[in-house]
Structure 1
Amino acid sequence: MVKVAIAAPGEVAREIIDGFVASGKHDILILARKDPGPGEHIQGTTRLTVNYEDKADLAKKLQGVHTVISFINAFGDFGSVAQLALIDASVEAGVKRFAPSEWFVAKHDRLTWLAGKDIVRKYLEDINKDKKVLEYTLFQVGLFMNYVAGPKQKTKHLSRNNFLFDVEHSRALVPGSPDHLITYTAIEDVVNIVVKAIDYEGEWPKIGGINGVTASLGQGIEVAEKITGKKFAIEVLDISDLKASLQNASFLPQIDHPAIRQLDEATKTGFIINAYTDLMGAIVEGHAVVSDEWNRIFPDYKFLGFEEFISKTLA
């Protein structure tokens, strides 16, 4: 049993915290900027209020922690100031392992709103350049398979988004071609692998791909049509001007995320259009495919496939 600190208890973090609590194996410390509100205490965990501008106090609170797992919001942490402070405090406190706030695709070249993730990657590389100071892994999962099911997904904390193909309404937006590949991983599998990773006795891989299934948009749509028995309305978007094509599409995929819920509708819509334009560009360029390092470390673990996932979700 070790002490694991979870920084920024948002939606994905809450799913993973629940996984740790259910396993009963480790002491779970939650690092949050605010004191817990009514009903926010999570049974089986200890919550500490932290100030990322006070690295000395942060390091003090990390004393005795074995692993830090970060979920600090990349597009709310300008310049990655908070996450870099968390790394520094972890080194000072003698933390053994660190997982930065990744939880998405492998490359962010087209995703300007996630540039902070690359700042953190480089910082971790630099502090380990001459000798290993802090063992770390980049948990990369592609897109959460759960978003394919939209409002019908059965998760406790993860927002009910829809994506480029919308199972509930049997429709799809395809940037250029249905042959572009995407890695999808169910949040349930992400939780299970992260919990297992704490007990892994070998060195964590720097690139930590968790690959549920890599499939083309077309293959995903075919599976959804098979399970639902409904033909999808497929709308092909012009990749030469994805933003205009998306603005004129028959529907706009939604993003329900705490970081944008308080925005007015016009600002929110603008963000969603820009985010999906960037994401579709990344898909076209092959950046939405992640590797499978953790799959190979745990070869006996069976990941949810599309057919099993959609069947279970729509049941």
Structure 2
Amino acid sequence: MVKIAVAGGSGNIAQEVIDAILATKKHQILILSRKDAVDGVSPGTTWIKVNYEDPDQLTEALQGVDTVLSFIVAHSDPGSVAQKKLIDASVKAGVRRFAPSEWASSTFEHMPFYAGKADVREYLEKLNKDKKVLEYSLFQPGLLINYLTYPYKSTNHIKPIATPFDFENRRALILEGSETSRITLTTAQDLANVVARAVDYEGEWPLVGGVKGGEVTLGGLIAIGEQIRGGPFKVERLNADDLKAGVIKASWKPPVVHPAFTPEQADTFASTITSGLLLGFAVEALNVSDEWNELLPDYKFTGIEEFLGEAWRNKP
């Protein structure tokens, strides 16, 4: 049994991971948060309110911790200050393993909303430049396929998020000419189970930790949607120059509805996120490698058609 600290542990993905680790009945979990304890957090955890501006208090909170899993939301951490201080405190406290707040893409091309993740990658790389100070892995599942069940929930904790692939209304937005670009889709449940197994993994964590549920082209994903939803999708193909300018020339735009965003931020970021995702999809930023699949060969991932077929069964 080891002690695991989860920073930003009240978040949606974090709670899925916490539940998976608790299900093993092996480890102690500390939830680190800048907030007071909230209702609805998984039982069997210890909540610690931390101040990321107080290195000594943060280091004290991490005493005896083996692994730190960070889910600090990038836009709530300007300059990645909190996450960098968490890394420093982890080193001072003698933490063995660290997972930065990745949980998405392999690269961040065209996606400025992920800039903080790139900053933390660079910080960790410099930390281990001369010798390994902290073992870490970049957990990358691509796009969580659970978002494609919007507006219906398909996990215990993750709230649905609209994407350019709108299965409910049988429509999609893509960059023109990107139908053959590939994307990785992984269920949140599989990601959480992999992290729970990674905590127990006896070997060294891979620096790049791809978690690959399934891979499909954008055109193939639309075809799957048409088959599952029983009719053609209205596909709008957008111009790259417009998207780079943050202009969405389409009949609709995915709304940004997420607990990490205020309504004002959601409205501001809607075009930025949509254009960034479409451009990112086109360059396969959301197509990831499969390091954890290789290290955990006995784990069976849920297939794309299997998951979406079941999720949309009997839906209007």
> Normalised by the shorter chain, which TM-score bucket?
over 0.9
Q: CA deviation at 1:210?
A: 0.6
Q: CA deviation at 1:109?
A: 2.9
Provide the rounded CA distance (Å) in 2 between the counterparts of 1:176 and 1:69. 38
Residue pairs, 1:1-315, within 5 angstroms: 1-9=1-9, 10-37=11-38, 39-177=39-177, 178-242=179-243, 247-260=248-261, 262-264=262-264, 268-315=266-313
Q: CA deviation at 1:40?
A: 4.0
Provide the rounded CA distance (Å) in 1 between the counterparts of 2:199 and 2:60. 22
Distance of aligned partners of 1:281 and 1:41 in 2 relative to their CA distance in 1, 3 Å threshold: closer
Q: CA deviation at 1:214?
A: 1.6
Provide the rounded CA distance (Å) in 2 between the counterparts of 1:158 and 1:231. 28
Is the CA contact 2:15–2:41 (under 8 Å) kept in the aligned structure 1? no
Is the CA contact 2:246–2:275 (under 8 Å) kept in the aligned structure 1? no
Provide the rounded CA distance (Å) in 1 between the counterparts of 2:103 and 2:16. 12
Question: Structure 2 counterpart of 1:234, which letter?
Answer: V
For residue 152 of structure 1, give the secondary structure of its aligned residue in structure 2.
Answer: coil
Unmatched tracts of structure 2, length 5 or more? none
Unmatched tracts of structure 1, length 5 or more? none
What CA deviation, in whole Å up to 9, does each residue of 1:142-192 have, x standing for no partner? 111011111123212112112111111111112113222111111011011
For residue 36 of structure 1, give the secondary structure of its aligned residue in structure 2.
Answer: coil
Question: Structure 2 counterpart of 1:15, which letter?
Answer: E
Provide the rounded CA distance (Å) in 2 between the counterparts of 1:252 and 1:243. 16
What CA deviation, in whole Å up to 9, does each residue of 1:6-39 have, x standing for no partner? 00121111111111122211111100112113x2
Question: Structure 2 counterpart of 1:289, which letter?
Answer: N
For residue 184 of structure 1, give the secondary structure of its aligned residue in structure 2.
Answer: strand
Provide the rounded CA distance (Å) in 2 between the counterparts of 1:268 and 1:65. 35
Q: CA deviation at 1:286?
A: 2.4
Provide the rounded CA distance (Å) in 1 between the counterparts of 2:41 and 2:192. 20
Question: Structure 1 counterpart of 2:63, which letter?
Answer: Q
Provide the rounded CA distance (Å) in 2 between the counterparts of 1:100 and 1:210. 15
Q: CA deviation at 1:240?
A: 2.9
Q: CA deviation at 1:75?
A: 1.4
TM-score (norm 2): 0.94
Count of matched residue positions in the alignment of Structure 1 and Structure 2: 311
What CA deviation, in whole Å up to 9, does each residue of 1:59-104 have, x standing for no partner? 1111110000000111111111000000000000000000000011
Question: Structure 2 counterpart of 1:99, which letter?
Answer: A
Q: CA deviation at 1:113?
A: 2.2
Between the two proteins, what is the percent identity of the paired residues? 47
Provide the rounded CA distance (Å) in 2 between the counterparts of 1:301 and 1:41. 27
Question: Structure 2 counterpart of 1:106, which letter?
Answer: S
Is the CA contact 1:237–1:245 (under 8 Å) kept in the aligned structure 2? no
TM-score (norm 1): 0.94
Provide the rounded CA distance (Å) in 1 between the counterparts of 2:252 and 2:110. 22
Distance of aligned partners of 1:268 and 1:296 in 2 relative to their CA distance in 1, 3 Å threshold: same
What CA deviation, in whole Å up to 9, does each residue of 1:178-235 have, x standing for no partner? 2221111110110110000001000000000111112111111111222222221111
For residue 258 of structure 2, give the secondary structure of its aligned residue in structure 1.
Answer: coil
Is the CA contact 1:184–1:211 (under 8 Å) kept in the aligned structure 2? yes
For residue 211 of structure 1, give the secondary structure of its aligned residue in structure 2.
Answer: coil
RMSD: 1.5
Is the CA contact 1:41–1:47 (under 8 Å) kept in the aligned structure 2? no
For residue 216 of structure 2, give the secondary structure of its aligned residue in structure 1.
Answer: strand
